[in-house]
Structure 1
């Protein structure tokens, strides 16, 4: 039986859920907190304490059965109270450690999800993918980005510190059927075009259709000319909409950006704010960490990074949507110039398991390690990505490392006309096609995947219609889920965890 007692203390029969130390990896902490619970979520006879409920193994079995062709029902078929309870349990399970730690950023995340349906979609990838468990097992496998939506594309630095446009979030990256990225991406465009663009149903479908058509047209080209590895989108080879975004992102310069957002009054380190908490006393600790990171990751240090001397360190709070409540640091690296205009910021972001893990059809292609998996995705899907992109473990936590560039930016969806929405959606579809096509270049695939994708697509118009109809249904389901989430959130449902009793 699954249950618990409301309240922030997460107390049951005099027992308090263990609060894991800051030095533990989220997955290690999960194992520690669930060590009295077996794979099926049952409490072990050796311990009378209730354990945190987990349906991960149940969904793994469901995905395998679905992928094998068995006629099994998926959660997206649930209705009424059954669906509402599934949504509640999934979100609690996905955040059980953050809830048990009384993490105020996690509680802030739930407030953010309640306030916006697009934020709810962005922050509940596990809910979305449990609805797809085992789907499309017959489709060609690619390295999927995992969390495609309109705001996970943007401007970022390549290996030469030149701004490029591409996918900028690989937290959920996983090997899976190519359709999974298309279904989440099309759904994301449908929801964003509703909540941000304010468009009616017909125009939302046209925007989603542009995204899928951009993909199908470009993957067909790659199947014949094999040009996917030629280059990323730069200002000189981008469509006008993206070239304008890159040009705008470059305005201001590094010195102005550092002074406005990060430097303290003397430019000797980070300023203190609600979002930035300097921890200068830990400089030596992070210097050792950065030195180890450079060595272990084989980073070729560019001249602009000087000797990689750590100037200051700060905790970064309140950033992201799905990752709110996870550990994040900013490390200031002193540049070679004496005028403090060229310091570099590195971000260390706690990595966690992909929402797709255990839900995708069985595959021979796996990358071990949370941050290592994310780094693999970036290195495969960007022709020449961020030079500092890498991973390191510290105090048992798996961290993703990347540069916070002064020209990192994404498009302002509020400012787009309907024509520009369609153009942007098409471009994002083309970028995704390039990312998938690179799966057999630097990825784990040992065969030419583009012709297989083209063959699997078959009649393009029928394929596009299938994906858009899926997105339309997922959009409607998300609307109902968000309404139920808001009701549960108002009743305090997400300040507690589900527990399993003997």
Structure 2
């Protein structure tokens, strides 16, 4: 919340004003400096979080109304996108327009704003490795270590150790918004869909508390609910067709140049080093379906994601074992950022790592036997995470769901999230069984679910107001430049 300050020159100093006016160019440049203080604001919110936990009457951003709330929304979004705005990053304007397009897009793309409203919340609740950004489209089909398609949580950009309720509250809010805006459902059905998400989670935690199978269990095409099995069928596609339809040029030796992909073949040797680094991290031998792990081509990928629009993203084409452009692999490198939950969750004893390492830790914890190409490297002085793209990597098409399928899908997402949380004491930092503690914290079940629903309804109401503020500010140019602080 920067301000431009202008002080009048005292009469006693007016004779010296001309001398002060002859400041050096460096001093003049220093007088106007961009507000690059994401770090300082994170620490400020961390202190506020501690104050709220200690003194529960401390006001949080969620209590702001009117113009003060509008300024908070604007300042938080500018802060979250400061680098993209200052660098005039490709895709930044596209993201801002997408956020204006629908409430659901706004919800998906403003995780920092959402979580600042939760600052310090649920300090007494059991801690898990939280996904951080739970919504209906952050579950999907992806490859496991054996290149077999599985269903589960699939976006680890915001993972952080936090109360388990943080994921449930964001997930419930996401299902309420999506079922209204995309599904077109009335209030009663929206409640039922959201309750199925919470019931699925409760069922999953109860199962793992009794059977302790979270370390190895996977949701595959042969053991998934019907609504998820349909996703597997839709995602089924031969690797050859997938490669040639979208990712190979006419020779089969590299990427095509189009609006989605820009080849940068001059950097093949550089990215070969990054691929080798990931292979070393994860013990991937140059054999089997990875072939010789040889990079054939590299490209920039444009216009992908919602929250990450405008951030650098690269694809590496890896030559497959047959060397005939039918079984090549694609490894993605995506810019890693600070978790939106950083400094906002109640203090705990567990550390997930920094940036790319944190995301890699999240994938390893949340998925049993997951994608072996998840890793962390530094590119151009920035942290990047890596993962494999695959022909069967796919998300749900919410438009295609019937009323009954919405409920079944929400239940399946709850089950998947339960397994991710339950693995916090197997592959994560927790040194005690977490499931019994979560079950105890959820009792009595009906009261717990009603509390989550009440939170979600309040969050939806607040988000609708925030979205109106945002669209007004966007039209007035609020996000064309980052804020500056003047002397």
When residues 289 and 117 of structure 1 are mapped into structure 2, their CA distance, relative to the original with a 3 A threshold, is: same
Matches of 1:98 and 1:46 in 2, distance apart? 22
| Match of residue 449 from structure 2 | 464
Q: CA deviation at 1:57?
A: 2.3
| Match of residue 314 from structure 2 | 329
SS at 1:2 equivalent: coil
Q: Is the 8 A contact 2:42 2:342 kept in 1?
A: no
SS at 2:137 equivalent: helix
Matches within 5 A, 1:422-501: 422-501=407-486
Matches of 2:349 and 2:287 in 1, distance apart? 37
Which ranges in structure 1 are unaligned for 5 or more consecutive residues?
6-35, 37-43
Match for 1:285 among 261, 267, 270? 270
Q: Is the 8 A contact 2:128 2:163 kept in 1?
A: yes
| Match of residue 203 from structure 1 | 189
Between 173-182 and 295-304, report the one with greater CA deviation.
295-304
| Match of residue 2 from structure 2 | 2
Q: Is the 8 A contact 1:3 1:498 kept in 2?
A: no
Which ranges in structure 2 are unaligned for 5 or more consecutive residues?
6-25
Matches of 1:147 and 1:301 in 2, distance apart? 34
| Match of residue 166 from structure 2 | 180
Q: Is 1:58 aligned to 2:39, yes or no?
A: no
Aligned-residue CA RMSD in angstroms? 1.8
Q: Is the 8 A contact 2:132 2:167 kept in 1?
A: yes
Per-residue displacement from partner, 1:254-296 (whole Å, max 9, x unpaired)? 1111111111111110001111000111112212222233224
| Match of residue 325 from structure 2 | 340
Q: Is the 8 A contact 2:353 2:361 kept in 1?
A: no
| Match of residue 146 from structure 2 | 160
Q: Is the 8 A contact 1:4 1:498 kept in 2?
A: no
Q: CA deviation at 1:66?
A: 1.5
SS at 1:368 equivalent: coil
Matches of 2:353 and 2:152 in 1, distance apart? 24
Matches within 5 A, 1:26-105: 47-52=30-35, 54=38, 55-105=41-91
Matches within 5 A, 1:209-358: 209-250=195-236, 252-358=237-343
Matches of 1:338 and 1:218 in 2, distance apart? 43
Q: Is the 8 A contact 1:278 1:314 kept in 2?
A: yes
Matches of 1:300 and 1:145 in 2, distance apart? 30
Matches of 2:32 and 2:426 in 1, distance apart? 50
Q: Is the 8 A contact 2:282 2:373 kept in 1?
A: no
Q: Is the 8 A contact 2:282 2:372 kept in 1?
A: no
| Match of residue 404 from structure 1 | 389
| Match of residue 416 from structure 1 | 401
When residues 386 and 425 of structure 1 are mapped into structure 2, their CA distance, relative to the original with a 3 A threshold, is: same
Q: CA deviation at 1:70?
A: 3.1
SS at 2:91 equivalent: helix
Matches of 1:51 and 1:112 in 2, distance apart? 26
Q: CA deviation at 1:80?
A: 1.1
SS at 1:420 equivalent: helix
Structure 2 length as normaliser, TM-score? 0.92
Q: CA deviation at 1:209?
A: 1.0
Aligned length: 464
Between 71-80 and 178-187, report the one with greater CA deviation.
71-80
SS at 1:393 equivalent: strand
| Match of residue 41 from structure 1 | none
Q: Is the 8 A contact 1:283 1:313 kept in 2?
A: yes
Matches of 1:148 and 1:422 in 2, distance apart? 16
Structure 1 length as normaliser, TM-score? 0.90
Q: Is the 8 A contact 1:151 1:411 kept in 2?
A: yes
Per-residue displacement from partner, 1:349-390 (whole Å, max 9, x unpaired)? 010100000101001101222011001011011111001111
Matches of 2:226 and 2:254 in 1, distance apart? 38
When residues 69 and 437 of structure 1 are mapped into structure 2, their CA distance, relative to the original with a 3 A threshold, is: farther
When residues 196 and 143 of structure 1 are mapped into structure 2, their CA distance, relative to the original with a 3 A threshold, is: same
Q: Is the 8 A contact 1:4 1:497 kept in 2?
A: no
When residues 430 and 353 of structure 1 are mapped into structure 2, their CA distance, relative to the original with a 3 A threshold, is: same
Bigger radius of gyration among the two = 2
When residues 440 and 300 of structure 1 are mapped into structure 2, their CA distance, relative to the original with a 3 A threshold, is: farther
Q: Is the 8 A contact 1:218 1:430 kept in 2?
A: yes
Q: Is the 8 A contact 1:67 1:362 kept in 2?
A: no
Q: CA deviation at 1:4?
A: 6.7
Matches of 1:155 and 1:46 in 2, distance apart? 51
Between 288-297 and 380-389, report the one with greater CA deviation.
288-297
